[in-house]
């Protein structure tokens, strides 16, 4: 065996350095600007408003981290940052990074307190309701919903392709947020009609997003709370990055409501960063569960075996766990 070294300890312990460099670059729209105007140091510093003391180090750090390239003194995006971090492209996924920068970065600074107390550390730390606070501020709500699209895009595309949609004609996306899951399914499956279900404040954001995607004729919005209002009767109920927000009893209640909304043979799809059953491989899923500790009163992420057990208890059959992309997997149950 090789002699142990402290390399991984240092890389992880100081991982907030590269994280904050990238988050600040997204905040200052570095990649959006360079998509339009690659330039030399003086030009880029001027266009981004960077102080000369840190500007060169900042841009060269982005080069060293692999987020920019510098050729002949000219800075430009890499193929990945050009595709995914240019705000002017529909493939932009930076919403989740914007939220990480403006909210999560500071809240995770109190992780030790959360681990010792079991209490959330976000806006609700002093008794406020996180979702009520977010939904009351249109600008922050829009940022949050964009973030949900960003973190979910890959899984949404996979579900739109991977699930056997030929057997079904209608769906509801419960907790639809901006509506990316509903939109991706509608784009990939022209025969299917869908409903986005969320609190009423989300309606204009969902409708604008569906219109921009060209699928507004097959998607509609229904306002309500999935804790107090029945879900629409459809063939398939989907919940993407929803179940992990809630405690165990609330998770089971949502699964029961989904079960009641579909006919015999109907399907329920839930997806999150499903933790592997051994709880030793999906580090992202485990850290997402810690994020639920920081962000919610009782939420937690879960393994495929956990979700299978809850679904069996409710009455689902033919339950399966399928990997989607990255850390995300879906659990499908049939009524």
* Helix or strand (DSSP H, E) at 98: helix 95-99
In angstroms, the CA 47 to CA 30 distance is 9
Q: What is the largest CA-CA distance in the chain?
A: 66
> What b-and-e string marks burial along 176-206, b requiring 16 or more CB atoms within 10 Å of the CB?
bbbbbbbbbbbebbeebbbbbbbbeebeebb
* Upper half-sphere CA count for residue 127 (Cβ side, 13 Å): 0
At which residue do the structure tokens 């995006």 appear?
A: 77
Catalytic residue among 51, 191, 244, 323: 244
Residue 164: strand, helix, or coil: coil
Q: What are phi and psi of 231, to 5 degrees?
A: -75, 150
Which of 278, 332, 335 is CA-nearest to residue 164?
332
Report residue 109 as tokens: 């600074």
Q: What are phi and psi of 275, to 5 degrees?
A: -75, 140
Q: Give the other-Cβ count within 10 Å of 315's Cβ.
A: 11
User: Can you name the residues that pair with 198 across neighbouring β-strands?
Assistant: 223
Report residue 110 as tokens: 């109190």
Q: Give the other-Cβ count within 10 Å of 28's Cβ.
A: 14
Contact 173, 120 (CB under 8 A): no
Note if 126 is an active site residue: no
Contact 172, 238 (CB under 8 A): yes
DSSP class per residue in 251-277? HHHHHHHHHHHS-TT-EEEEEE-PBPT
In angstroms, the CA 305 to CA 254 distance is 18
Residues annotated as part of the active site: 244
């Amino acid at each position: 065996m090789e002699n142990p070294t402290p390399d991984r300890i240092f890389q992880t312990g100081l991982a907030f350095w590269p994280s904050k460099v990238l988050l600040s670059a997204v905040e200052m729209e570095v990649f959006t600007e360079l998509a339009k105007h690659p330039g030399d140091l003086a030009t880029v510093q001027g266009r981004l408003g960077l102080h000369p003391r840190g500007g060169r180090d900042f841009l060269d750090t982005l080069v060293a981290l692999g987020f920019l390239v510098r050729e002949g003194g000219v800075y430009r995006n890499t193929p990945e940052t050009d595709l995914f971090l240019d705000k002017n492209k529909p493939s932009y996924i930076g919403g989740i990074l914007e939220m990480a920068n403006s909210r999560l970065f500071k809240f995770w600074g109190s992780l030790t307190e959360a681990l010792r107390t079991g209490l959330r550390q976000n806006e609700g730390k002093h008794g406020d309701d996180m979702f009520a606070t977010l939904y009351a501020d249109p600008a922050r709500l829009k940022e949050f919903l964009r973030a949900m699209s960003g973190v979910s895009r890959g899984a949404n595309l996979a579900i739109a392709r991977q699930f056997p949609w030929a057997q079904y004609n209608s769906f509801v996306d419960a907790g639809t947020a901006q509506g990316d899951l509903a939109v991706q399914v509608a784009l990939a499956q022209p025969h299917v009609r869908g409903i986005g279900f969320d609190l009423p404040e989300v309606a204009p954001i969902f409708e604008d997003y569906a219109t921009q995607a060209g699928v507004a004729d097959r998607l509609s919005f229904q306002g309500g709370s999935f804790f107090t209002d029945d879900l629409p009767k459809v063939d398939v109920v989907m919940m993407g990055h929803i179940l992990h927000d809630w405690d165990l009893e609330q998770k089971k209640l949502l699964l029961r409501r989904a079960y009641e909304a579909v006919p015999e043979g109907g399907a329920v799809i839930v997806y999150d960063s499903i933790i592997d059953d051994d709880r030793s491989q999906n580090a992202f899923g485990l850290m997402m569960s810690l994020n639920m500790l920081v962000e919610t009163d009782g939420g937690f992420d879960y393994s495929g075996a956990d979700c299978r057990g809850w679904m069996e208890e409710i009455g689902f059959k033919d339950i399966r766990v399928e990997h989607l992309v990255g850390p995300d997997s879906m659990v499908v149950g049939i009524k």
